[in-house]
Structure formats: C-alpha cells, structure tokens
Amino acid sequence: MIRKMKKSDLNEILEIERLCFDDAWSKKDYEYELYDNPYAQLWVMVEDDRIVGYYDLWITFEQAEIANIAVLPDCQHRGLGQQLMKHLEMKAMENGCETIGLEVRVSNVQAIRLYENQGFSVINTKPGYYRHAGKYEDAYRMMKGI
Ligand SMILES: CC(C)(COP(=O)(O)OP(=O)(O)OC[C@H]1O[C@@H](n2cnc3c(N)ncnc32)[C@H](O)[C@@H]1OP(=O)(O)O)[C@@H](O)C(=O)NCCC(=O)NCCS
C-alpha cells in the first residue's frame, strides 16, 4: 500500500535514510517538507505495518522534481523502487506536470538504472553538485517527459 507520509512515520523514515544515505536528511528537513514546503508531496510504501520505501516529490506547476526516494535495503531488488516511480509519475500527471526531473550521484548505478528503466535520460552533468564531509561528487541531471 502507498499512502501519504505522516509525522508519526518519521522515526522509521529517518532510520531508512540513515541506512541509505551518507548525507541523510534530518528530522528537521522532513518536518519542513511535511509542513512548510507547499510544493512537496510525501508518500510511503507500507508492507505488514512496516515502511519499506518512500518518496518526496516537488510539484511546481508544469514540472515535477524527485527530491528524494529510497527503499529499505532489506527490501531492495523486489521491484518496489519501480512501483514508487510509477506512483510518483501518476501523481505528477494528476497534477498536470509535463516533465519529471531529478539529480543523482554519478556513482549511484542502482538508482541510475532504475531511472533509465523508467524512461529518464541524462541531460547534463553538474560538477561537484554533492558535497558531504569535505568530498565533492558530480550529479547527473535526468529528465523524463510525461
Ligand atoms: C534506487 C533504489 C530506490 C531502487 O530501489 P529497488 O526497490 O531496489 O528498485 P527495483 O527493485 O524496482 O529495481 C532494482 C533492480 O531489481 C530488479 N528487480 C525488480 N524486481 C525483482 C525481483 N522480483 N527479483 C529480482 N530482481 C528484481 C530490477 O529489475 C532492477 O534490476 P537492475 O538494477 O539490474 O535493472 C534503491 O536502490 C535505494 O533506495 N537506494 C538508496 C537510496 C538512493 O540511492 N536513492 C536515490 C537517490 S537519487
């Protein structure tokens, strides 16, 4: 089941963030997205009362932007990432968006493959886009028309 994210989900979300990302978003980041970002739509995937994945989609008029997406490591490689992508594309279409965009680390082969399988293409590279603990990494800008 995919449903809207709630404040009571945050502990589980923060644990998945910690497992998935070196530069994990904080509780404050999520509270901002949930309550203060008028463009953000946050959804979670639940299996047996456990959150197994989530995404944050920014909808700004005709453009949608994937701000974040993750699947619990134990549950990866089962098609859940693909289901979340299909769900967010449906939400983007329902909101009248014409494109979906995202940035991804050039080293994140798993995510890049997921996006390419969903019809996204690399449109440019953003040098040094990611900076964490004094290290820089390039990002690919990827987009899909819908
Ligand atoms: C990127 C991410 C969301 C993908 O999630 P996922 O649930 O593993 O994605 P899927 O299962 O849909 O697809 C992954 C692979 O599993 C394969 N797969 C899907 N269903 C499968 C099944 N039932 N059995 C075996 N393999 C399967 C897919 O074909 C795909 O293979 P490929 O990479 O060789 O093309 C996940 O790796 C993740 O959370 N990463 C950490 C966070 C992150 O990097 N987020 C992106 C930031 S830009």
Q: Is the CB of 20 under 6 A from ligand 1?
A: yes
pTM, to two decimals: 0.97
Which two three-digit tokens encode residue 111?
Answer: 């995510």
According to DSSP, the residues that pair with 126 across neighbouring strands are 139
Phi-psi region of 56 (alpha: psi -120 to 50; beta: other; left: phi over 0): beta
Residue 55 designated active-site: no
**Which residue among 21, 52, 76 is best mutated to probe the pocket of ligand 1, counting the most ligand atoms within 8 A of its Cβ?**
76
pLDDT at 30 (0 to 100) = 98
Q: Residue 97 carries which side chain, given as an amino acid letter? A: C
CATH number for the domain spanning 59: value is: 3.40.630.30
Residue to probe by mutation, ligand 1, list 15, 114, 130, most atoms within 8 Å of CB: 114
**For position 132, what pLDDT does the model report?**
87
Residue-level pLDDT at 117: 98
Measured from the Cα of 21, ligand 1's closest atom is 42
Distance between Cα 22 and ligand 1 center (Å): 18
Spatial distance between the Cα atoms of 138 and 12, rounded to a whole number of angstroms: 29
CA nearest to 55, candidates 38, 69, 66, 65: 69
In the chain, the number of structural domains is: 1
Give nearest CA residue, ligand 1 atom 16: 77
pLDDT at residue number 74: 96
The domain of 69 spans 2-145
Residues shown for the chain: 146
Q: Which residues contact 146 (CB under 8 A, 6 or more apart)?
A: 89, 92, 93, 97, 98, 99, 100
115 catalytic? Reply is: yes
Q: Check residue 36 and give its pLDDT.
A: 98
| Per-residue pLDDT tens digits of the chain, which is 146 residues long | 999 999 999 999 999 999 999 999 999 999 999 999 999 999 999 999 999 999 999 999 999 999 999 999 999 999 999 999 999 999 999 999 999 999 999 999 999 999 999 999 999 999 999 998 899 999 999 999 99
